[in-house]
Amino acid sequence: MSGWLAEVRERHDALDVPVLAALISPGFDTPDVLNPRPGPSGTTFADELQALAVLDPDRLATSIDAVHPAGRPAPLRGRPRDVRDRVVTAMAGYWRTCLEPRWPALRATLQADIGYRGTIIAEHGMRAAITSLSPSLGWDGTRLQPRIAVQPHFESAVAGRGLVLVPSFFTTDLTHPMTAQEDPTIVYAVRGTAAAPGARADPPPCLVRLIGRTRAEVLHLLDCPTSTTDVAARFGITPSAANQHLRSLRDAGILQTTRSGRSVLYGRTALGHDLVAGSGPGPFW
């Protein structure tokens, strides 16, 4: 994500850094109310920001205190309503400055991860999908146990409440709510972080020589079925250009297509996986 970080640094002066930094504890925890359980697929950041803007100020205050038990940083002190308004304004600025310009590519990668997990569930079952999220997540068939440093430790019943799995670019392993009162949620590191804002894939040089850099990058990142539109968003190219690359790779037997509703999804064939892994046979390797 180095390219994205460079862009953000250039816009640093547009951010309310004191408030944003104060929302993160020394242990990198954040208030639970700022990480709500995802809503329906059509929910936008504006919807979630509006929900935060009308949230009971005392609930936000309690959530902030949970990550700062020794006392709040100065930017988060004051009347609860004033603190809430300050947080809403800071987060709105962060969204506009840092995430909104890159959101189509981010969203495409997140959706691809969800599709990948769904494929694991369909082919191997829920246990395989859950244990694939991270080596830090244990499961004995009845209990999930994230082996992570989030404090405090507690038990929370999932029955009747459901468990939501949330892919994220902003964690390297797993996180979960700070209290048992919040909805059971596990946030895990999204696959395909090479497609994060401003990043480029680094396919094997021999693969670049064989099919060209752009197609090699597309193939390198296409580790789960993805639509033409999503590929275009991830690489900053037109849908027609993305379609041309995808069709060429499909015609060569490197990609295959499946349908999901009205969308045509492209995914690697066994040959495609071998090429990316550098394990294909023959003198090319």
Q: What tens digit of pLDDT does each residue of 222-252 get? A: 776 778 887 887 777 889 999 999 999 999 9
- Cα separation, 54 vs 221, whole angstroms: 40
The mean per-residue pLDDT over the stretch 124-128 comes to: 85
pLDDT at 192: 61
- Per-chain mean pLDDT for the chain: 82
**pLDDT tens across 43-64, in order?**
889 999 999 999 999 999 999 9
Model's pTM, two decimal places?
A: 0.68
